[in-house]
């Protein structure tokens, strides 16, 4: 079964509203990541975490917060959603301890901000 | 900054033809880059196709190959004979081993293989 899951899979929000995207992993990986993907761009890193209680800014953190309350869960929070945040969001987990350095991705959440 | 540039799609090839998708990278802030190819098949999630973490080495999977060339800063994806089932979007990615394995992705190349 899928080791990285995301919820919701689709979300429509209103401008100025709060949106929380959730991610759960059963890989027991230390590192988790949030990316967004837009047409013409690859995935771009928003926030990441190296363990429970930690969050770090990625390349495009403005307008987003993150929360890592446990090893398994990593949330992305849009306090005041804007139409420019309409995108597909991917969560991933990874751990250098496996020696592979690769990341394992969830199925994505399609967010539309009206 | 760090960046990845890959062949702009869509790329269309006929079944049994050879394929090369170019990927070049710039790793200005990464001391020990790792290189990856990820793939997204229609209706599926993003998955690892192959990886190389040591310069000069070659990775291979499902008939695809890519060599980590530090001199030319390239990691081109090649396959000698493509199949219709290879139709997908391919992403080249640069990993930062020294910074929690953060990934920098290229824009993706959509491949369509015609029967």
Q: Is the peptide bond before A14 cis (omega within 30 degrees of 0)?
A: no
User: What is the residue-level pLDDT of chain A in tens, covering all 114 positions?
Assistant: 559 999 999 999 999 999 999 999 999 999 999 999 998 888 999 999 999 999 999 999 999 999 999 999 999 999 999 999 999 999 999 976 655 678 999 999 999 999
User: Quick check: B28 pLDDT over 60?
Assistant: yes
Q: Given an 8 Å threshold on Cβ–Cβ distance, is B100 in contact with A103?
A: no
At A99 the pLDDT is: 56
At A72 the pLDDT is: 96
Per-residue pLDDT, averaged over B57-72, amounts to: 96
**DSSP letter assigned to residue B74:** B
User: B4 at the A interface (CB within 8 A)?
Assistant: yes
User: Quick check: B92 pLDDT over 80?
Assistant: yes
How many pairs of residues across A and B have Cβ atoms under 8 Å apart? 57
User: Quick check: B98 pLDDT over 80?
Assistant: no
A-interface mutation test, from B28, B102, B106, most A Cβ less than 10 A away: B102
Q: Given an 8 Å threshold on Cβ–Cβ distance, is B101 in contact with A43?
A: no
At A1 the pLDDT is: 59
Q: Which residue has the higher pLDDT, A92 or B45?
A: A92
Q: Given an 8 Å threshold on Cβ–Cβ distance, is B105 in contact with A42?
A: yes
From A45, A50, A106, residue closest to B45, measured CB to CB: A106
Cβ-based neighbours of A1, under 8 Å, separated by 6 or more: none
At A68 the pLDDT is: 98
By DSSP bridging, strand A10-13 and strand A109-113 are parallel
Per-residue pLDDT, averaged over B3-9, amounts to: 94
User: B41 at the A interface (CB within 8 A)?
Assistant: no
CA atoms of B39 and B90, how far apart (whole Å): 5
| Cβ atoms A49, A68 nearer than 8 A | yes
Shortest CA distance to B6 belongs to which of B70, B103, B94? B94
By DSSP bridging, strand A65-67 and strand B77-79 are unpaired
By DSSP bridging, strand A19-25 and strand A73-78 are antiparallel
**Chain-wide mean pLDDT for chain A?**
93
DSSP string over A29-45 = -SEEEEEEE-TTS-EEE
Residues of chain A neighbouring B108 (CB-CB closer than 8 A): 42
**Chain-wide mean pLDDT for chain B?**
94
Cα B111-B91-B9 angle, rounded to 5 deg: 35
At A96 the pLDDT is: 66
Q: Given an 8 Å threshold on Cβ–Cβ distance, is A42 in contact with B91?
A: yes
């Amino acid at each position: 079964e899928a080791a990285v899951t995301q919820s919701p899979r689709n979300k429509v929000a209103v401008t100025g509203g709060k949106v929380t995207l959730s991610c759960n992993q059963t890989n027991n990986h230390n590192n988790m990541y949030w990316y967004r993907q837009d047409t013409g761009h690859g995935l771009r890193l928003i926030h990441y975490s190296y363990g429970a209680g930690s969050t770090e800014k990625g390349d495009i953190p403005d307008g987003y917060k993150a929360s890592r309350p446990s090893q398994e869960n990593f949330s992305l929070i849009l306090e005041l959603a804007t139409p420019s945040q309409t995108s597909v969001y991917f969560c991933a987990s990874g751990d250098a301890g496996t020696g592979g350095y690769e990341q394992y991705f969830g199925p994505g959440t399609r967010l539309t901000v009206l | 900054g760090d960046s990845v540039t890959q062949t702009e799609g869509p790329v269309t090839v006929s079944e049994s033809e050879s394929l090369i998708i170019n990927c070049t990278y710039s790793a200005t802030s990464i001391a020990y880059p790792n290189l990856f190819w990820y793939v997204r098949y229609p209706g599926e999630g993003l998955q690892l196709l192959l990886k190389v973490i040591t310069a000069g080495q070659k990775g291979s999977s499902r008939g695809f190959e890519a060599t980590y060339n530090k001199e030319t800063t390239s990691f081109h994806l090649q396959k000698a004979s493509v199949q219709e089932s290879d139709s997908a979007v391919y992403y080249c990615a640069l990993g930062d081993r020294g910074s929690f394995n953060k990934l920098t992705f290229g824009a993706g190349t959509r491949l369509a293989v015609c029967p």
